[in-house]
Structure 1
Amino acid sequence: MRHSLLPALFCTGLVAATSLLTGTAATAAAPVPSAGPTSAVAEAIAQATDVRERLDRIPGLTVVSQTTKEGFPYYTLTLTQPIDHEHPDRGTFKQRLTLWHKSETAPMVLYTGGYSLSSSTREITRLLDANQVSIEHRYFSQSRPATVDWNDLTVQQEASDEHAVVQALKTIYRAKWLGTGASKGGMTQVYHERFYPDDLDAVVAYVAPNDAANNDDSGYEKFFQTVGTPECRAALNAVQREMLVRRDRMLPRFEATAEQQGLTFQYLGSADRAYEFSVLDQVWNFWQSGTYADCPAIPDARAATDDELYTWSLGHGLSPYADQGNGAEGSGPYYRQAAAQLGWADLKFKHLADVRHYPGIYQPNSVLPADMRVGYDGRTIKDVDRWVATRGERMMFVYGQNDPWSAERFKPSKHDSMLFEAPNSNHGALISKLKPADRAAAEATVKRWAGQ
């Protein structure tokens, strides 16, 4: 059920997360080459004073800092947002952004990683030589009020946050706007497009899951019955099963790992429950971040020693679900969204039926603190699914052939929209990883949508 989440999300390289206050300036800042800037950089720098002045005049927008990234002006910003866009009298919070300025006449790429602030340069930003504004999702990391009501963490409210950002910055950037994101970030851009279809000229969503029918996980089940080769699937299933067969010997090793890393399991209820949850996720994580090329290294489950089996598993998908990663300051906001609206994959694990101790544990509320747990309401996601398939325009979806999160997909409409699959790719699928003909078609389409 891991949604490329902590720690898996930040290990895939998909978002290359860059913290606004702890690393952006250090990693993004770059001096202008001593030979002198290119004409494009010089033009951008010449405009910088005017752009900065115009940013300062936008109501609610604060320029926190200014540096350069690859020679172009790079701004750290906050925008004051309503806690509830339908009831703005309930108070506000500051949402974190970054802005990479190339030119007022260049296209603008609107990006969210779907979690805390990530300002990594996106594929279509490079393709279009575009500006890029990156947004931290509401109620992740520092983009939250002092007191959080988790009922305000909805896809509609985040779409309204992004709408406010677009409207504010369109006072400066009047060229084409394209939304993009990967995984949950891709989902977020799709939701934005659904609720504010006039904001963006196009959306390019990478590996964006679409769990519109939360009770039907047949797409995921079929994926795990067909991904890779029969031999690889059998070997992975055997390792996963053996981890539970040897629970009495593996659990002490798991507890030792937790102690070494300072992990606790109050939300899940016990180390034993956390161990089973982590084993259930093991095969999913293997395919999410690995490839078929990793299959020959899978150990013979029955012949491997306890240490060999545990060590290999720890490096190939066995990721402890601890309190330290799943609360409000970690991935808890995502699991809250999954439990409330986004849905989750509740796999059957038929090959583990007789060695599981906690049959109902594999769902997002299990890993949340009690005050963040919630009942599921799938009406919004069903509505988005229908809208994308029938009315969405200029929407591109890029999925990975061997990515479990690509198993349940958005279906694009016939209105200048399309779907591509990157062969032998996982949760890091990109346009650049498509077959040559598909890559050429996708890149040409993105450039056309951007007016190039």
Structure 2
Amino acid sequence: MRHKLLPALFCTGLVAATSLLTGTAATAAGTTSSAAGASAEVTDVRERLDRIPGLTVVSQTTKEGFPYYTLTLTQPIDHRHPARGTFEQRFTLWHKSETAPMVLYTGGYSLATSTREITTLLGANQVSIEHRYFSQSRPATVDWSDLNVWQEASDEHAVVQALKTIYGAKWLGTGASKGGMTQVYHERFFPEDLDAVVAYVAPNDANNNDDSGYEKFFRTVGTPECRAALNAVQREMLVRREQMLPRFEATAKEQGLTFQYLGSADRAYEFSVLDQVWNFWQSGTYTDCPTIPDAKTATDDELYTWSLGHGLSPYADQGNGAEGSGPYYRQAAAQLGWADLKFKHLADVRLYPDIYQPNSVLPADMRVDYDGSTIKGVDRWVATRGERMMFVYGQNDPWSAERFKPSKRDSMLFEAPNSNHGALISKLQPADRAKAEAAVKRWAGQ
């Protein structure tokens, strides 16, 4: 149910050909010429950005010696009906060179600007986009029905088309988890925008009624001993509900958390316990297994303290409304789907059997009925018509249990051994890493 995730390349900009010149004066002249050329390009880029209709340069600074712009682009609330109004979508641009490849990145949530793995690999420029209706990229009045995968793909299409007036080299889309999903959806609806997509740990819940992939994951991940110990702790947290709930309420009070959306602290507690094992594998590793306490002999404090540090994360109003993760849960409830696990080992200690779904954590005005038709269509398209698409998954990541299946059209899938939701190309086996990096460079024209 959880959605949280998680080295920049520095180019000197100096030309090796200066070695053809002789003497100190020649070297200095070469350096001055190079610097002047770089400065002229930066000035030209800024001027060209200023000329793009609807684009505003909010600020300009530097990142690792290269220009770094914060921008907005005026976007329609509804790309099918532009007359309904507009909003300003935030994004950033890290400029290396007009002739370098461009990496288009979204974290899938609010503005995330970290340098991505393939940006470093390629020495590329990078655009980072804030997803529509997260954080500041929203109109004053939000109609949540406008938050869907096609509208966001259309937003990104507009950004790409605007910046292609400056950057004419290869464009590669990338993102992790929901960001990876977002780039897949962009590729589906606007396949001419990007030359390739590299999606990390991107879930694909194409059939929301079938969670067998997730169920199999939790039956097979790690070792039998680790799985049994985790299940025992999870169960004991509900068996000892009477002792644990006051501790949970104390944690909530310390952190200023309330549970109006879920209905009560007790309901929030159960929801959080249900998510505990998922979170353990999403963010932890098999090396954490020896720390699991013996559920039968651990004291109440030992059990609660360990759980709080290993997956027990309260679902509170403060994180799940419109200003927090609520837009994600709205998307999950409306289109993206969710893992509705059976929790057979908890059947007799659960009090709220229908609670484990995204509408439970949303305010009433954001709740919605599910329609998976768009996601099913994307799944079919990726498997049959998608080209130059790479998927990187983590062996021990629950989100990687239901995956996209790439086509045979110069597309591929890799699994990083013993990796969680932070799987990367750099964590693949050496042969797979070499193959993946070679493909990314080839797609980028390098």
Q: Name the TM-score class by shorter chain.
A: over 0.9
- Cα distance between partner residues in 2 of 1:175 and 1:271: 53
- Tell me, yes or no, if the aligned pair for 1:44 and 1:102 is still in contact at 8 Å: no
- Tell me, yes or no, if the aligned pair for 2:7 and 2:117 is still in contact at 8 Å: no
Offset at 1:44?
A: 3.9
**Structure 1 residues 426 and 25, CA gap change in structure 2 (3 angstroms):** farther
Taking only aligned residues, the RMSD between alpha carbons, in angstroms, comes to 7.6
**Structure 1 residues 358 and 201, CA gap change in structure 2 (3 angstroms):** same
- Tell me, yes or no, if the aligned pair for 1:7 and 1:319 is still in contact at 8 Å: no
- Cα distance between partner residues in 1 of 2:373 and 2:14: 29
- Tell me, yes or no, if the aligned pair for 1:14 and 1:427 is still in contact at 8 Å: no
Deviation sequence 1:51-89 (CA, Å, 0-9, x none) = 000000000000000000000000000000000000000
Normalised by the size of structure 1, how large is the TM-score? Answer: 0.93
- Tell me, yes or no, if the aligned pair for 1:209 and 1:405 is still in contact at 8 Å: yes
- Tell me, yes or no, if the aligned pair for 1:4 and 1:10 is still in contact at 8 Å: no
- Cα distance between partner residues in 2 of 1:159 and 1:25: 52
**Structure 1 residues 8 and 202, CA gap change in structure 2 (3 angstroms):** closer
Q: How does 1:167-246 map to 2 (within 5 A)?
A: 167-246=161-240
Larger mean Cα displacement after TM superposition, 39-48 or 197-206: 39-48
**Structure 1 residues 437 and 208, CA gap change in structure 2 (3 angstroms):** same
Larger radius of gyration between Structure 1 and Structure 2? 2
Identity of aligned residues (%): 91
**Structure 1 residues 24 and 413, CA gap change in structure 2 (3 angstroms):** farther
**Structure 1 residues 122 and 330, CA gap change in structure 2 (3 angstroms):** same
**Structure 1 residues 416 and 262, CA gap change in structure 2 (3 angstroms):** same
Offset at 1:3?
A: 1.9
- Cα distance between partner residues in 1 of 2:159 and 2:89: 10
Larger mean Cα displacement after TM superposition, 208-217 or 15-24: 15-24
Deviation sequence 1:328-376 (CA, Å, 0-9, x none) = 0000000000000000000000000000000000000000000000000
Offset at 1:5?
A: 6.6
- Tell me, yes or no, if the aligned pair for 1:18 and 1:24 is still in contact at 8 Å: no
**Structure 1 residues 72 and 257, CA gap change in structure 2 (3 angstroms):** same
Offset at 1:25?
A: 36
- Tell me, yes or no, if the aligned pair for 1:17 and 1:117 is still in contact at 8 Å: no
- Please give the secondary structure, in 2, of the residue aligned with 1:74: strand
- Tell me, yes or no, if the aligned pair for 2:5 and 2:422 is still in contact at 8 Å: no
Q: Which runs of 5+ in 1 are unaligned?
A: 28-33
**Structure 1 residues 255 and 268, CA gap change in structure 2 (3 angstroms):** same
1:156 aligns with 2:150: yes
- Cα distance between partner residues in 2 of 1:292 and 1:97: 37
Deviation sequence 1:252-300 (CA, Å, 0-9, x none) = 0000000000000000000000000000000000000000000000000
**Structure 1 residues 306 and 345, CA gap change in structure 2 (3 angstroms):** same
Offset at 1:13?
A: 30
- Cα distance between partner residues in 2 of 1:130 and 1:91: 34
- Tell me, yes or no, if the aligned pair for 1:81 and 1:94 is still in contact at 8 Å: yes
- Tell me which residue corresponds to 1:30: none
Normalised by the size of structure 2, how large is the TM-score? Answer: 0.94
Q: Which runs of 5+ in 2 are unaligned?
A: none
**Structure 1 residues 137 and 414, CA gap change in structure 2 (3 angstroms):** same
In the alignment of these two chains, the number of paired residues is: 446
- Tell me, yes or no, if the aligned pair for 2:14 and 2:31 is still in contact at 8 Å: no
- Cα distance between partner residues in 2 of 1:40 and 1:307: 64
